[in-house]
Amino acid sequence: MDTLKQRIFDYVKVHHPVRRVDLCKAIGISGKALDREISVLKSTGMIHSAAGFGYFPGLAAYEAWKKGEGAVKLQIRGMKGGLSSAESRRESLSTYPSRIVDLLSGGVTDDNSDFIATANPATVLALLYELEAAEKTSAARLEALDRIHKMFQREKYRVEAAEKRITELQSENEYIRKRFKEVDLLLGKNLLVMKAAIIEWQGTGDAKNGLAWIYNTLFGPGELPSEDEKDAQAYFDREYEPLDKELMELHRWFWEQSEAERAAAGIGKG
């Protein structure tokens, strides 16, 4: 595979589904050039396209998307299509009376002369009965279509609300993941500082030089203890007590989660 095709595939793999216009901008090529490359990638099964959504890194990725994030979007598109069809049907039914009026008010022409010639009272009366029945049927259909229309509207609002909530949850999840990574990196940094402090102490034989590493780390963000604190152990015990309580609650929660997963999998208690 050449470099351009690899770039296209890699981008689609990370950002799918990707629209054609967005992919052109990301890769920096024209639409025609992209179409040529996509055609080759599709022939090998590396790219799958879905109308209205964009490109996926293969059929398997598309199927997985349909069962997950894409399920709601597909439902919305289906409902919009059904709603559009219902609207068209309502409009068609509502125009029938005006068409009849146009025909009868247009005067005698070659197109309607035979119809007018046979319009005796009995025929007209029969037509009126049929028209009345048709109007009742049309009214019933319009009422049914109106109910369907309202149902689609309600479902549309529900799906849109669900889609909005999914987006919010995805954003919150990303925020939490970033925060977790930040805390993990800060913890790693502090461990490095303490290790460096020991190396400094062992290398110079001066504990103060080692302590400077820890002091500077606390001083920067303003985390130095108060100068009123004189008993290190008492300070540690007092400050650690609420932390220890929360840690125990977290450990209990993780243990309960683990036990629930084991039970669901049919595994005995650990």
CATH number at residue 40: 1.10.10.10
The model's pLDDT over 187-233, given as tens digits with 9 standing for 90+, comes to 999 999 999 999 999 999 999 999 999 999 999 889 899 999 999 99
Instruction: Please give the Cα distance from 191 to 48 (Å, whole number).
Output: 47
Is 19 inside any structural domain?
yes
Question: In the prediction, which pLDDT does 185 show?
Answer: 94
User: Which amino acid, 198?
Assistant: I
On whether residue 30 sits in a domain, the answer given is yes
pLDDT of residue 97: 46
Q: pLDDT tens for residues 20-40?
A: 899 999 989 898 888 999 999
Quote the Cα angle for 231-232-236, to 5°: 120
Q: What is the pLDDT of residue 143?
A: 79
Structure tokens at 232: 């290190």
Per-residue confidence (pLDDT) for residue 109, from 0 to 100: 55
Local structure of residue 224 (DSSP, 8 states): P
The answer to whether residue 75 is domain-embedded is: no
pLDDT band at 88 (very low <50, low <70, confident <90, very high): low
Which residue range is the domain that position 90 belongs to? Answer: 80-119
CA proximity to 15, closest of 45, 47, 51: 47
Closest CA to 80 of 3, 157, 163: 157
Q: Are residues 10 and 62 in the same domain?
A: yes
Judge whether 9 lies within some domain.
yes
Average pLDDT, the chain: 81
At residue 179, does pLDDT exceed 50? yes
Please tell me whether residues 9 and 48 are part of one structural domain.
yes
Q: Looking at the predicted structure, is the pLDDT value of residue 267 above 70? A: yes
| Distances, alpha carbon 174 to alpha carbons 135, 168, 171, in Å | 57, 10, 5
Residue 63 in any domain: the answer is yes
Task: Answer for the pair 89, 145: CB distance below 8 angstroms, yes or no.
Answer: yes
* Domain count of the fold of the chain: 2
124 or 57, higher pLDDT: 57
As a whole number, mean pLDDT of residues 64-87 equals 68
Could you tell me if residue 255 is inside a domain?
no
**pLDDT > 90 in the chain, percent:** 40
Q: Helix 20-27 to helix 3-15 angle, to the nearest 10 degrees?
A: 130
Q: What is the rounded distance in angstroms from the CA atom of residue 42 to the CA atom of residue 239?
A: 61
